[in-house]
Amino acid sequence: MKVFSVVGYTKSGKTTTIESIIRELKKRRYSVGTVKDIHYEQFEMDTEGSNTHRHKQAGAELITARGFHETDILFQERLGIHRIASFYDVDYLILEGVSDSIVPKIVTADKVSDIEEKWDDTTFLISGKIADVMDDYKGYEAISAIKNVSRLVDIIEEKTFELLPDYDEACCNACGYSCRELCKRILKGQKKRQDCVIGQGHITLKINGQVITMVPFVQKILKNAILGVVGELEGYTSNGTITIDMQNDKYD
Amino acid sequence: MKVFSVVGYTKSGKTTTIESIIRELKKRRYSVGTVKDIHYEQFEMDTEGSNTHRHKQAGAELITARGFHETDILFQERLGIHRIASFYDVDYLILEGVSDSIVPKIVTADKVSDIEEKWDDTTFLISGKIADVMDDYKGYEAISAIKNVSRLVDIIEEKTFELLPDYDEACCNACGYSCRELCKRILKGQKKRQDCVIGQGHITLKINGQVITMVPFVQKILKNAILGVVGELEGYTSNGTITIDMQNDKYD
């Protein structure tokens, strides 16, 4: 699942750019999901007086509204992008307005000073209103999603990649870089996504079907914990695959 | 995680009953989640014109709206109760208006004929408006959530249990009953939730694709060894499935 973010001030053409990208990706037969970051304090999707809102007021911690054609799961907290991404199983996940995540970014703007403010070293493209009047900014292409979505999505296909783990450098650094530095280098073509060693190791863990990432150190602990038990059993061989499925249950 | 449903016609006191139950459960220090089944065709939580609604119109298959204090994950399909439950990690999950799931049910009503219509063999209690004027219906207690929520929640604590797998009888029948029949018998005190052999304590181990049998004692050791590590990771939930695949290699 490739992930990227579109960032820019209000009225810079952010949502319009995303709509065009979604339509073009769908035309290319990809599945697409989105995450919208909402930057006003009072945001509540549910409306006062609805039954689900009453559940919330009464103290429910997680609320789901299930209709005939949709199921809305309302977490009463701000979840991290990795946790959110774990619910998705699509080809492209587009983040709108998410600027604090280490993913390739498109900046939308309607004037040059706004590019400057939104720009960071994970930006790979300029779009939005300003792309109607300029083609390039400091060597990066500026492409309008209205006029040339095909070229825009070509670059997205080429540049974007799977979410990096976003570990603190002090905890990992297994590839030799911080995640941000690796992201930057991948975008420049100096490194590949595969240079990140997390998740490609020898052990994968899923909880309710969702992959849980582990730093190499934790992978090793889990592996040793399992081998400590399994290694004593009849039928154990010291090489090959080990698969474990378990049902976890509090009231066990 | 114990699960039950509150069913009844509109204006029977369903949401009011649930609000009281939530408050009482919270008072008893339990964590609570809810699922509301919405029975009108046009239900859409998101409003026309919002950015996330525009993502949906453009073709996004799964959309998240993330604010400062909540994260709303909008699946564009009706999910099953087991799938929904897998997102929850609470002590009590209350379903509102979900009648097609094999869980203990409270029927709310404001007249006897409505009880008759909503009643099925998984019902264990009557509540709602009618509980103001009667105490019992065919041997089942009728308890008002307004007047006597303490007694109501005592019975919920006693009677409800974790979600049964809801397998087709043709596929399982391992306990000797269908899931519905087992549910009914648990509510009558003739059987226990633990009589369902699926789930609880269930762990399978394969080495190179071959199932390694383990006595319950060893199963428990392996399970605890895994939980000891996995339980500390972000993304862990205390119920649901855990799957581990590992490549074992002497020269690792």
Q: Which residue of A has its CA nearest to B236?
A: A207
Closest CA of chain B from A181, distance in Å: 24
Backbone angles phi, psi at A43, to 5 degrees: -55, 125
One-letter amino acid of B245: D
Quick one: what percent of chain B has pLDDT higher than 70? 97
Q: Which residue of A has its CA nearest to B237?
A: A207
| Number of domains present in the structure of chain A | 1
Query: Does residue A205 lie in a domain region?
Result: no
Tell me whether A100 touches chain B (CB under 8 Å).
Answer: no
User: How many DSSP H helices and E strands does chain B contain?
Assistant: 7, 13
Closest CA of chain A from B18, distance in Å: 7
Q: Which residue of A has its CA nearest to B26?
A: A59
Q: Can you name the residues that pair with A134 across neighbouring β-strands?
A: none
| B93: its two tokens | 């999950």
Co-location of B151 and B168 in the same domain: no
Q: d(Cα A171, Cα A216) in Å, to the nearest integer?
A: 9
pLDDT at A249: 65
Tell me whether A138 touches chain B (CB under 8 Å).
Answer: no
Name the residue range of residue A90's domain.
2-162
Tell me whether B76 touches chain A (CB under 8 Å).
Answer: yes
Longest dimension (CA), chain B: 75
pLDDT tens for chain A, 252 residues long, are: 999 999 999 999 999 999 999 999 999 999 999 999 998 888 888 887 788 999 999 999 999 999 999 999 999 999 999 889 888 889 999 999 999 899 999 999 999 999 999 999 999 999 999 999 999 998 899 999 999 999 999 999 999 999 998 888 877 888 899 999 999 999 999 999 988 877 555 788 888 888 888 888 888 899 889 999 988 887 787 766 788 988 876 444
Closest CA of chain A from B35, distance in Å: 4
Q: d(Cα A214, Cα A233) in Å, to the nearest integer?
A: 26
Q: d(Cα A162, Cα B160) in Å, to the nearest integer?
A: 42
pLDDT at B198: 67
* pLDDT of B98 higher than 90: yes
pLDDT at B199: 54
Co-location of B30 and B127 in the same domain: yes
| Radius of gyration for the alpha carbons in chain B, expressed in angstroms and rounded | 21
Cβ(A95)–Cβ(A103) under 8 Å?
yes
Query: Does residue A222 lie in a domain region?
Result: no
Residues of chain B contacting A214 with CB distance shorter than 8 Å: 233
Q: Which residue of B has its CA nearest to A21?
A: B58
Of A196, A198, A204, A195, nearest in space to A216 by CA: A198
Cβ(A141)–Cβ(A135) under 8 Å?
yes
Place of tokens 């039928």: A235
Residues of chain B contacting A67 with CB distance shorter than 8 Å: 38, 40, 43-45, 78
Residues of chain B contacting A225 with CB distance shorter than 8 Å: 225-226, 228-229
CATH at A93: 3.40.50.300
Co-location of B57 and B131 in the same domain: yes
Query: Does residue A90 lie in a domain region?
Result: yes
**Four-residue CA torsion sign, B5, B6, B7, B10:** negative
| Radius of gyration for the alpha carbons in chain A, expressed in angstroms and rounded | 22
* pLDDT of B3 higher than 70: yes
Cβ(A116)–Cβ(A123) under 8 Å?
no
Closest CA of chain A from B53, distance in Å: 10
Co-location of B44 and B139 in the same domain: yes
Tell me whether A209 touches chain B (CB under 8 Å).
Answer: yes
Query: Does residue A184 lie in a domain region?
Result: no
Co-location of B149 and B74 in the same domain: yes
Co-location of B20 and B105 in the same domain: yes
Alpha helical stretches, state H, chain A: 14-27, 51-58, 81-85, 112-118, 149-159, 179-187, 216-230
Say which residues have a Cβ less than 8 Å from residue B193's Cβ, sequence separation at least 6.
A251, B161, B162, B164, B186, B200
pLDDT band per the 50, 70, 90 thresholds, residue B174: confident
Co-location of B18 and B87 in the same domain: yes
Cβ(B118)–Cβ(B28) under 8 Å?
no
Co-location of B16 and B104 in the same domain: yes
Co-location of B16 and B135 in the same domain: yes
Co-location of B125 and B187 in the same domain: no
Co-location of B89 and B186 in the same domain: no
Co-location of B133 and B36 in the same domain: yes
Q: Per the CB < 8 Å rule, is A72 touching B67? A: no
Query: Does residue A49 lie in a domain region?
Result: yes
